[in-house]
Chain A
Amino acid sequence: MRQTSVTARRVAAASVSLVVAAGAAACGPKDNDAKGSGGDSAPHKGGTLTVLNSQPQTDFDPARLYTSGGGNVPSLVFRTLTTRNRENGAAGAKVVPDLATDTGRPNKDATVWTYTLKKGLKYEDGTPITSADIKYGIERSFAPELSGGAPYLRDWLAGAADYQGPYKDKKGLSAIETPNARTIVFHLDKPEGEFPFLATQTQFAPVPKSKDNGTKYEEHPVSSGPYKVVKNENDGEHVVLVRNPNWSAATDGERKAYPDEIDVRSGLDSSVINQRLSASQGADAAAVTTDTNLGPAELAKVGGDKALAARVGTGHFGYTDYIAFNPTVKPFDDPKVRQAIAYAIDRSSVVNAAGGSALAEPATTFLPSQKSFGYTPYDPFPAGTSGNPAKARELLAQAGHKNGLTVTLTHSNAKDFETSPEIATAVQDALKKAGITVKLQGLEDNDYRDKIHSVKTEPGFFLAHWGADWPSGGPFLAPIFDGRQIVKDGANFNTGLLNDTSVNDEIDAINKLTDLDAAARRWGALDQKIGEKALVVPLFHPVYKRLYGEDVRNIVISDWTGVLDISQVAVK
């Protein structure tokens, strides 16, 4: 779910959230500025691209990264079996071959996937990349020493649930076969039509066994991509990448690799990053950020400056901020109470608290509004942009709360403008008009995460968010609404504790589809069906706006990551 584009301090990982948003995917008419970018000069090779980030690249090990589509900076070093299509907008939500010749050949029920590697693939030291290296890379991601990745490999690969990685279990994973050096075959427990999406994650990057030094591998991961790591100071605070001479553009149709060098500086304050990009002096003129959005205050300033506004990339990452209910807690066991809250919500004030209409779009669907998710517009509890308190009162009266209701809203104290006090206060203000008194329970972030993700302590009414692991309805809906994914003794994300056979069956049925367009339409329909249960109240989908320096060219922002793709960027 999370998309920590670069980020991934394992911590941030902890911070479940998706904190670091991603950036900007052009959607609808808004992608004009994304495509334009200078336009005056064609991108050319050479120069140094500076990256100004807030989160250090603490994890630079493909086994531990939790990224959508292979990440941004990591994707310059790690090639994977498949990758995301590096194009603007909806086209960028497609999966395309990378190391493999195609996006994968399934058997009839999509339980066996076969890939063939391209010819002439080499590591930075000139040794050939083999299918066994990809198998090894996946195996080591199961080692508890290298924890941090997404759960799908463990859930999907046959017999992998209890595998502890190659350090403890030398036999390896029998679910992955490598009949020859260019062929790799995956055996799954159940049909998974979206396997090509999973194969974009960095766990599918090749790791040469002879170079593996466990937790130290991140200091110098062996490159299969256009750049290699030549400097990694202070655990990812300052990373320098230069060209990998053994990478060949002929085998890589996706990464443009225009600059000669990439200089990644992190640990910076986010307002300082935006100040630097806006001043654009010296090396900052050729700078971008892969983890820092414009905040509302900065947007207000940019809005009054045309030259600056032309240097803003806008995008949409698949992401939803919402109110979650636990229907086992009174009074939220009563659907009428949940519906009343859904009617009473003033989305315009929530949007304002999140940064205004340029940084957040009001949401009535749980699925993000991009096509690849199967977005189907619907609003089961239509109340306009500022809510319908009268309708809410009526429902409350029907539910036996004629004289109003007092409830507690749990939220995090983190300053993220998503589950933070600002949003909670806006909700509180809106519900007041419907006669609902909201008491705020703000918890420190770790406490908040522990509480909402444990079935034993989950509060009745709280703020939550969810982000896409890849641009499809599957990883968006299944963890939250699939009854078989309720985790009793660990981190549970099905916070509505929904276990509905018809929903579960539909999820299974869609997973069998290898026609991703057909699947998308059915995810959209399923979303609408679940939405009517009022287990969640979608609040908004964030919009990512990021500045880039004056000399930066060739901005590409896909619907997949929502942020400018660093592999496409050129500097003047």
Chain B
Amino acid sequence: MNGLTGFVLRRVIGAVVTLFALSVIIYVVFYVTPGNVAQITCGPRCSPAQVHQVAQQLHLDDPLYVRYGHFLQGLFAGQDFSTGTSVEHCAAPCLGQSYQTDQQVTDIILAKLPVSFSLVLGAMVIWLLLGVGTGVLSAWRRGRFSERVLTAITLAGVATPVFVIGLVLMIVVCGELQLLPFPQYVNFTDDPEQWAWNLLLPWLSLALVESANFARLTRASMLETLAEDHIRTFRAYGVSERAVIARHALRGATASVIALNAVTFGSAVGGAVLTETLFGLPGVGQELVHAVKVVDLPVVVGMVLVIGFFVVLANAVADVLYAVADRRVVLA
């Protein structure tokens, strides 16, 4: 598998370069973003002298390259932070400390990632079932009532912003019908059952947004396989339609569905901002939006890198899976 090794190596190098470039861009963008970070950190009524002290403590007066140097130093060698009464060491790879809350960025990310994973994993199950199911039905039973209903549902998911779907679902299901409790994140390790019940609506909302893509991809791949010559041959030999669909057409769609799934998963880990905000899930996306608003550079950079890592990883995984499943694609 020399080709595969080389491919993986190229992807890894490419990913590292991409992530570093991303961190530089974020530093530059936030350097020119309005908002006096020291004043925000210190509080609106701080005197100029106090603001200056805070700026010194956070190295905010240093030139951009020096601050980026601090960031790299933390990443490779670790950093020390003063709590006032003692010195805390943040071991490499250290992504720094929040300007606003004095928490270490790695700790923040470790606290938020399980929430985002919980949300996206559950939603993934639903979008796969709903999306692939709709896709199969629309390829197999074109024009039937069930197909139309499912297609309309998935398209409605795309066409309606999640903050509308989610809120209406919540008002109806939790408020008026009282079928479910209002979502409130519970750790999986604390209570798996409550974890699932509380996440059910967020899963549904997020899955509705994504499932149309899967429906469309499944349908297209299946139709294409069904049009191939060997399928016609099977049909001609009297193989049942059900068997054709299940054994051949669906299998033909698997590779691309897996690839799309990896990519969707990767981007949703950090990208489900609206779902997290609406349902009050303390995940990566919500924290990141907050950090951007208060110009909390270390948190922003750390989180963007982690999210970027998942996107890059997911894309690579998609390519490998795709290549393994379908020999026709040449690894480039």
CB-contact partner of A13 in B43, B51, B85, B182, under 8 A: B43
A276 in the interface, Cβ–Cβ < 8 Å?
yes
Give Cα A14 to B82, complex, Å: 22
A433-452 contacts to B, CB under 8 A, are 444-447, 449-450
Could you say which residues of chain A place their CB within 8 Å of the CB of B71?
Answer: none
Q: A162-B49, A275-B171 are in contact. Are A11 and B44 (CB under 8 A)?
A: no
Return the chain A residue nearest B291 by Cβ: A11
Contact at B279–A145, with CB atoms within 8 Å?
A: no
Given the known interface contacts A148-B42, A235-B101, A275-B170, the answer about A212 and B34 at a Cβ–Cβ threshold of 8 Å is no
Inter-chain contact A214/B43, CB cutoff 8 Å: no
Residues of B within 8 A of A17 (CB): 44
Closest B residue to A2 using CB positions: B44
Bound: A338/B181 CA distance, A: 53
How near does chain B come to A238, taking the closest CB pair, in angstroms? Answer: 9
Set of chain B residues within 8 Å of A151, measured between Cβ atoms: 45-47
Tell whether, in the assembled complex, residue A490 and residue B51 are in contact, meaning their CB atoms are under 8 Å apart: yes
User: A303 contacts the other chain (Cβ, under 8 Å)?
Assistant: no
Q: Mark A133-155, 1 if CB is under 8 A from B, else 0.
A: 00000001001111111110010
Flag whether B50 is at the interface (Cβ < 8 A).
yes
Task: Tell me which residues from 196 to 254 in chain B have a Cβ below 8 Å from any Cβ of chain A.
Answer: none
**B160 located at the interface, meaning its Cβ lies under 8 Å from any Cβ of chain A in the complex:** no
* A147 interface neighbour in B50, B85, B280, Cβ under 8 Å: B50
Nearest-neighbour CB distance to chain B for A219, whole angstroms, equals: 10
Contact (Cβ within 8 A) A272 B170: yes
Number of residues of chain A lying within 8 A (CB) of chain B: 62
Q: Is the CB of A272 within 8 A of B280?
A: yes
Assembly CA distance A430 to B93 (angstroms): 57
Contact present for B41 and A14 (CB under 8 Å): yes
Residues from chain B with Cβ under 8 Å of A284 in the complex: 182
Q: B115 to nearest A CB, angstroms?
A: 9
Q: Is A487 among interface residues, defined by CB-CB distance under 8 A? A: yes
Closest CB in chain B relative to A566 CB, distance in Å: 20
A196 to B51, alpha carbons, bound, how many Å? 27
The contact string, 1 if C-beta is below 8 Å from chain B, for chain A 478-521, is: 01000000010111010000000000000000000000000000
A475 to chain B, nearest CB (A): 10
A567 CB to nearest B CB, Å: 25
Q: Is the CB of A214 within 8 A of B86?
A: yes
Q: Are B50 and A450 in contact (CB under 8 A)?
A: no
* CB of A304 closer than 8 Å to a CB of B: no
**Which residues of chain B (25-67) have a CB below 8 Å from chain A?**
33-36, 39-51, 53-54, 56-57
Cross-interface CB contact of B278 among A145, A164, A269, A493, cutoff 8 Å: A269
Q: Does A491 lie within 8 Å of B45, measured CB to CB? A: yes
Q: Are A276 and B84 in contact (CB under 8 A)?
A: no
What chain A residues lie within 8 Å of B85 (beta carbons)? 167, 212-214
Q: Which residues of B contact A140 (CB under 8 A)?
A: 84
Question: Is the CB–CB distance between A215 and B45 below 8 Å?
Answer: no
A271 CA / B169 CA spacing, docked (Å): 13
Task: Report yes or no: B45 in contact with A150, Cβ–Cβ below 8 A.
Answer: yes
Q: Establish whether residues B82 and A145, one from each chain, have CB atoms under 8 Å apart when the complex forms.
A: yes
Min CB–CB distance B293 → chain A (angstroms): 7
**Cα–Cα, bound, A299→B82 (Å):** 47
CB pair B111–A144 under 8 Å, yes or no, is no
CB distance from B167 to the nearest CB of A (A): 7
Can you list 22 A-B pairs with a CB-CB distance of less than 8 A?
A2-B45, A10-B41, A10-B43, A15-B44, A66-B45, A143-B84, A144-B50, A147-B50, A151-B45, A161-B47, A162-B49, A212-B85, A215-B84, A234-B111, A235-B108, A267-B280, A272-B278, A278-B175, A282-B181, A450-B39, A487-B47, A489-B48
7 more CB-based (< 8 A) A-B contacts, given A14-B294, A145-B57, A487-B47? A11-B296, A144-B50, A147-B43, A147-B46, A213-B83, A275-B174, A281-B178
